[in-house]
Amino acid sequence: MMDRRPPRKAGTGRPGARDQKFSRGKPQERKPFDRDRKPFRSDKPKPRPDQAQREKFDFPPIPDEVSAEDLHISVRAQLKTLSVEHQEIVARHLQMVALLIDEDPKLAHRHALAAAKKAGRIAVVRETLGVTAYTTGDYALALRELLTHRRISGSNDQLPLIIDSERGLGRPEKALAQAAGIDRSKLPVGVRINLAIALSGARLDLGQTELAKQELEIPELSPKTVFEQSPLLFRSYAEILRELKQDGTKWDELADKAEQAMAETEEETVSLQEEK
Protein backbone atom coordinates (compact mmCIF):
# COMPACT_ATOMS: atom_id res chain seq x y z
CA MET A 1 0.00 0.00 0.00
CA MET A 2 1.39 3.34 -1.02
CA ASP A 3 2.68 5.55 1.78
CA ARG A 4 0.86 8.84 1.39
CA ARG A 5 2.76 10.75 4.06
CA PRO A 6 4.34 13.98 2.92
CA PRO A 7 7.79 13.07 1.61
CA ARG A 8 10.63 13.86 4.00
CA LYS A 9 12.77 15.99 1.74
CA ALA A 10 13.77 19.60 1.58
CA GLY A 11 11.33 21.92 3.24
CA THR A 12 8.70 19.27 3.90
CA GLY A 13 9.56 19.02 7.57
CA ARG A 14 6.37 17.75 9.08
CA PRO A 15 6.04 20.09 12.06
CA GLY A 16 6.50 17.98 15.17
CA ALA A 17 3.53 17.26 17.38
CA ARG A 18 5.53 18.26 20.45
CA ASP A 19 5.69 21.76 19.00
CA GLN A 20 1.93 21.90 19.37
CA LYS A 21 -0.25 22.06 22.48
CA PHE A 22 -1.66 19.11 22.85
CA SER A 23 -9.53 5.31 15.89
CA ARG A 24 -7.60 6.17 13.56
CA GLY A 25 -11.13 5.55 12.76
CA LYS A 26 -12.58 5.11 9.32
CA PRO A 27 -15.96 6.61 8.47
CA GLN A 28 -18.72 4.13 9.12
CA GLU A 29 -19.56 2.37 5.86
CA ARG A 30 -23.17 2.67 4.69
CA LYS A 31 -24.82 -0.41 3.25
CA PRO A 32 -27.03 0.01 0.18
CA PHE A 33 -30.69 0.46 1.06
CA ASP A 34 -32.64 -2.78 0.44
CA ARG A 35 -36.16 -1.89 -0.68
CA ASP A 36 -37.44 -5.46 -0.37
CA ARG A 37 -36.20 -6.08 3.13
CA LYS A 38 -39.00 -6.16 5.70
CA PRO A 39 -38.44 -4.04 8.78
CA PHE A 40 -37.41 -5.93 11.88
CA ARG A 41 -39.94 -5.49 14.64
CA SER A 42 -39.01 -5.74 18.28
CA ASP A 43 -40.40 -4.44 21.51
CA LYS A 44 -36.88 -3.49 22.54
CA PRO A 45 -35.84 -0.10 21.13
CA LYS A 46 -32.78 -0.26 18.92
CA PRO A 47 -29.85 1.89 20.07
CA ARG A 48 -28.98 4.95 18.03
CA PRO A 49 -25.85 4.59 15.86
CA ASP A 50 -23.91 7.10 17.96
CA GLN A 51 -24.91 5.27 21.13
CA ALA A 52 -23.79 1.95 19.66
CA GLN A 53 -20.46 3.46 18.70
CA ARG A 54 -19.92 4.76 22.24
CA GLU A 55 -20.73 1.34 23.69
CA LYS A 56 -18.33 -0.44 21.33
CA PHE A 57 -15.41 1.93 21.82
CA ASP A 58 -12.63 0.36 23.85
CA PHE A 59 -11.52 3.08 26.25
CA PRO A 60 -7.79 2.67 26.98
CA PRO A 61 -6.91 2.30 30.67
CA ILE A 62 -5.22 5.11 32.56
CA PRO A 63 -2.63 4.33 35.26
CA ASP A 64 -3.78 5.35 38.74
CA GLU A 65 -0.78 7.64 39.17
CA VAL A 66 -1.87 9.86 36.25
CA SER A 67 -3.88 12.72 37.71
CA ALA A 68 -6.00 15.44 36.13
CA GLU A 69 -3.83 17.95 38.00
CA ASP A 70 -0.84 16.79 35.93
CA LEU A 71 -2.37 18.45 32.86
CA HIS A 72 -1.35 22.04 32.24
CA ILE A 73 -3.72 24.47 33.96
CA SER A 74 -4.41 26.36 30.72
CA VAL A 75 -5.77 23.18 29.17
CA ARG A 76 -7.76 22.20 32.26
CA ALA A 77 -9.39 25.61 32.19
CA GLN A 78 -10.95 24.78 28.81
CA LEU A 79 -12.70 21.78 30.34
CA LYS A 80 -14.67 23.81 32.91
CA THR A 81 -17.90 23.54 30.93
CA LEU A 82 -17.93 19.78 31.50
CA SER A 83 -19.32 18.01 34.54
CA VAL A 84 -16.82 17.44 37.34
CA GLU A 85 -16.70 13.73 36.50
CA HIS A 86 -16.06 14.37 32.81
CA GLN A 87 -13.47 17.04 33.58
CA GLU A 88 -11.50 14.47 35.53
CA ILE A 89 -11.54 11.67 32.97
CA VAL A 90 -10.98 13.91 29.94
CA ALA A 91 -8.05 15.67 31.62
CA ARG A 92 -6.44 12.32 32.45
CA HIS A 93 -6.83 11.09 28.85
CA LEU A 94 -5.29 14.33 27.56
CA GLN A 95 -2.40 13.94 29.98
CA MET A 96 -1.84 10.43 28.65
CA VAL A 97 -1.62 11.91 25.15
CA ALA A 98 1.08 14.29 26.33
CA LEU A 99 3.00 11.41 27.91
CA LEU A 100 2.71 9.04 24.95
CA ILE A 101 2.74 11.23 21.84
CA ASP A 102 6.44 10.66 21.12
CA GLU A 103 6.99 7.07 22.25
CA ASP A 104 3.64 5.46 21.34
CA PRO A 105 1.62 7.71 19.00
CA LYS A 106 -0.99 5.04 18.27
CA LEU A 107 -1.85 4.63 21.94
CA ALA A 108 -1.79 8.41 22.35
CA HIS A 109 -4.31 8.57 19.52
CA ARG A 110 -6.60 6.13 21.32
CA HIS A 111 -6.54 8.35 24.39
CA ALA A 112 -7.33 11.37 22.21
CA LEU A 113 -10.29 9.48 20.75
CA ALA A 114 -11.42 8.61 24.28
CA ALA A 115 -11.30 12.28 25.27
CA ALA A 116 -13.28 13.21 22.15
CA LYS A 117 -15.96 10.65 23.05
CA LYS A 118 -16.49 12.50 26.33
CA ALA A 119 -15.90 16.10 25.23
CA GLY A 120 -16.25 16.42 21.46
CA ARG A 121 -17.27 20.07 21.59
CA ILE A 122 -14.18 21.32 23.43
CA ALA A 123 -11.65 23.02 21.16
CA VAL A 124 -8.53 21.62 22.82
CA VAL A 125 -9.93 18.10 22.60
CA ARG A 126 -10.54 18.42 18.86
CA GLU A 127 -7.08 19.92 18.48
CA THR A 128 -5.48 17.03 20.36
CA LEU A 129 -7.32 14.46 18.28
CA GLY A 130 -6.22 16.23 15.10
CA VAL A 131 -2.59 16.23 16.21
CA THR A 132 -2.58 12.53 17.11
CA ALA A 133 -4.36 11.62 13.87
CA TYR A 134 -1.68 13.53 11.96
CA THR A 135 1.06 11.79 13.92
CA THR A 136 -0.35 8.36 13.04
CA GLY A 137 -0.74 9.29 9.37
CA ASP A 138 -4.54 9.61 9.25
CA TYR A 139 -4.48 12.88 7.33
CA ALA A 140 -8.19 12.96 6.50
CA LEU A 141 -9.16 12.76 10.17
CA ALA A 142 -6.39 15.18 11.11
CA LEU A 143 -7.63 17.74 8.60
CA ARG A 144 -11.24 17.44 9.74
CA GLU A 145 -10.39 17.80 13.42
CA LEU A 146 -7.87 20.63 13.01
CA LEU A 147 -10.25 22.62 10.81
CA THR A 148 -12.96 22.10 13.44
CA HIS A 149 -10.57 23.30 16.13
CA ARG A 150 -9.75 26.42 14.10
CA ARG A 151 -13.45 27.13 13.57
CA ILE A 152 -14.26 26.73 17.27
CA SER A 153 -11.24 28.57 18.66
CA GLY A 154 -10.39 31.07 15.92
CA SER A 155 -6.74 30.05 16.32
CA ASN A 156 -4.30 29.49 13.45
CA ASP A 157 -1.74 27.74 15.64
CA GLN A 158 -2.29 24.42 13.87
CA LEU A 159 -2.16 25.85 10.36
CA PRO A 160 1.15 24.08 9.57
CA LEU A 161 -0.43 20.71 10.33
CA ILE A 162 -3.53 21.61 8.33
CA ILE A 163 -1.33 22.38 5.34
CA ASP A 164 0.74 19.23 5.79
CA SER A 165 -2.43 17.14 6.10
CA GLU A 166 -3.60 18.49 2.74
CA ARG A 167 -0.22 17.46 1.35
CA GLY A 168 -0.60 14.02 2.87
CA LEU A 169 -3.86 13.69 0.96
CA GLY A 170 -2.04 14.59 -2.26
CA ARG A 171 -3.51 18.10 -2.55
CA PRO A 172 -0.62 20.61 -2.55
CA GLU A 173 -2.72 23.30 -4.25
CA LYS A 174 -5.27 23.14 -1.44
CA ALA A 175 -2.41 23.15 1.02
CA LEU A 176 -1.19 26.49 -0.33
CA ALA A 177 -4.74 27.86 -0.38
CA GLN A 178 -5.12 27.22 3.37
CA ALA A 179 -2.57 29.97 4.06
CA ALA A 180 -4.21 32.56 1.82
CA GLY A 181 -5.03 35.79 3.65
CA ILE A 182 -3.19 34.81 6.83
CA ASP A 183 -1.27 37.64 8.52
CA ARG A 184 1.91 35.74 9.38
CA SER A 185 3.23 38.57 11.52
CA LYS A 186 0.52 37.79 14.07
CA LEU A 187 1.46 34.11 14.37
CA PRO A 188 3.69 32.85 17.18
CA VAL A 189 7.26 32.50 15.97
CA GLY A 190 7.26 28.69 16.17
CA VAL A 191 4.07 28.50 14.13
CA ARG A 192 5.51 30.94 11.61
CA ILE A 193 8.61 28.77 11.13
CA ASN A 194 6.63 25.55 10.82
CA LEU A 195 4.29 27.26 8.38
CA ALA A 196 7.19 28.27 6.14
CA ILE A 197 8.48 24.68 6.17
CA ALA A 198 5.07 23.22 5.33
CA LEU A 199 4.46 25.71 2.51
CA SER A 200 7.92 25.03 1.12
CA GLY A 201 7.07 21.34 1.02
CA ALA A 202 3.85 22.05 -0.87
CA ARG A 203 5.84 24.08 -3.41
CA LEU A 204 8.21 21.14 -3.86
CA ASP A 205 5.25 18.83 -4.39
CA LEU A 206 4.32 21.06 -7.33
CA GLY A 207 7.87 21.16 -8.68
CA GLN A 208 8.29 24.83 -7.76
CA THR A 209 11.78 24.59 -6.28
CA GLU A 210 12.68 28.28 -6.48
CA LEU A 211 9.41 29.25 -4.83
CA ALA A 212 10.02 26.57 -2.19
CA LYS A 213 13.30 28.30 -1.41
CA GLN A 214 11.58 31.67 -1.14
CA GLU A 215 9.02 30.26 1.32
CA LEU A 216 11.88 29.50 3.71
CA GLU A 217 13.52 32.91 3.44
CA ILE A 218 11.76 34.38 6.45
CA PRO A 219 13.34 36.66 9.09
CA GLU A 220 13.86 33.62 11.34
CA LEU A 221 16.27 32.11 8.78
CA SER A 222 19.15 33.64 10.68
CA PRO A 223 21.87 32.41 13.05
CA LYS A 224 21.58 35.52 15.20
CA THR A 225 18.57 34.21 17.12
CA VAL A 226 17.56 30.57 16.94
CA PHE A 227 14.42 28.86 18.20
CA GLU A 228 13.37 25.28 18.83
CA GLN A 229 12.25 24.96 15.21
CA SER A 230 15.38 26.57 13.73
CA PRO A 231 17.41 23.37 13.15
CA LEU A 232 14.66 21.99 10.93
CA LEU A 233 14.37 25.31 9.13
CA PHE A 234 18.12 25.42 8.50
CA ARG A 235 18.27 21.82 7.26
CA SER A 236 15.29 22.35 5.00
CA TYR A 237 17.00 25.37 3.49
CA ALA A 238 20.22 23.38 2.99
CA GLU A 239 18.30 20.70 1.11
CA ILE A 240 16.58 23.26 -1.09
CA LEU A 241 19.94 24.75 -2.00
CA ARG A 242 21.17 21.31 -3.01
CA GLU A 243 18.04 20.83 -5.10
CA LEU A 244 19.09 24.01 -6.90
CA LYS A 245 22.66 22.68 -7.32
CA GLN A 246 24.00 25.07 -4.69
CA ASP A 247 26.08 24.44 -1.56
CA GLY A 248 24.04 23.95 1.60
CA THR A 249 26.92 22.99 3.91
CA LYS A 250 26.80 26.24 5.87
CA TRP A 251 23.17 25.71 6.81
CA ASP A 252 23.72 22.07 7.77
CA GLU A 253 26.47 23.20 10.14
CA LEU A 254 24.28 25.95 11.58
CA ALA A 255 21.50 23.40 12.14
CA ASP A 256 23.88 21.20 14.13
CA LYS A 257 25.07 24.17 16.19
CA ALA A 258 21.53 25.36 16.83
CA GLU A 259 20.43 21.90 17.93
CA GLN A 260 23.33 21.60 20.34
CA ALA A 261 22.83 25.11 21.70
CA MET A 262 19.12 24.54 22.34
CA ALA A 263 19.87 21.24 24.09
CA GLU A 264 22.26 22.98 26.49
CA THR A 265 19.88 25.70 27.65
CA GLU A 266 16.39 26.11 29.02
CA GLU A 267 16.00 29.43 27.24
CA GLU A 268 13.49 29.69 24.40
CA THR A 269 16.04 31.39 22.14
CA VAL A 270 19.81 31.44 21.81
CA SER A 271 22.25 33.36 19.64
CA LEU A 272 24.83 31.65 17.46
CA GLN A 273 28.14 33.29 16.72
CA GLU A 274 29.17 32.52 13.19
CA GLU A 275 32.78 31.62 12.71
CA LYS A 276 34.60 34.16 10.59
List per-residue pLDDT tens for the chain, 276 residues long: 333 344 444 344 344 433 434 433 333 332 333 323 333 333 445 555 555 445 577 899 999 999 999 999 999 999 999 999 999 999 999 999 999 999 999 999 999 999 999 999 999 999 999 999 999 999 999 999 999 999 999 999 999 999 999 999 999 999 999 999 999 999 999 999 999 999 999 999 999 999 999 999 999 999 999 999 999 999 999 999 999 999 999 999 999 999 999 998 888 888 886 544
Q: Is-contact 124 93, C-beta < 8 A?
A: no
Phi-psi region of 154 (alpha: psi -120 to 50; beta: other; left: phi over 0): left
pLDDT of res. 230: 96
pLDDT of res. 274: 56
Q: Give the span between the Cα atoms of 219 and 143, in whole angstroms.
A: 28
pTM above 0.75, yes or no: yes
Closest CA to 229 of 259, 202, 199, 266: 259
- Give the 3-state secondary structure of 66-94: CCHHHCCHHHHHCCCCCCHHHHHHHHHHH
Q: Is-contact 239 9, C-beta < 8 A?
A: yes
Element (H, E) at 258: helix 249-263
Closest CA to 248 of 259, 257, 239, 258: 239
Q: Give the span between the Cα atoms of 218 and 139, in whole angstroms.
A: 27
CA 165 to chain CA mean position, Å: 8
CA 214 to chain CA mean position, Å: 24
pLDDT of res. 156: 96
- 150 Cβ neighbours under 8 A, 6+ residues apart: 156, 158, 159, 162
Half-sphere exposure of 118 (CA within 13 A, CB side): 23
pLDDT of res. 179: 96
pLDDT of res. 58: 86
Domains of the chain: 58-154 (1.25.40.10)
**What is the three-class DSSP state of 226?**
strand
pLDDT of res. 51: 52
Q: Is-contact 216 229, C-beta < 8 A?
A: no
Q: Give the span between the Cα atoms of 94 and 25, in whole angstroms.
A: 18
Q: Give the span between the Cα atoms of 91 and 242, in whole angstroms.
A: 46
Q: Which residues pair with 226 in a beta bridge?
A: 270
Contacts 24+ apart (CB under 8 A), 132-135: 132/17, 132/97, 132/101, 132/105, 132/108, 133/24, 133/109, 134/14, 134/17, 134/161, 134/164, 134/165, 134/168, 135/17, 135/101, 135/105, 135/108, 135/109
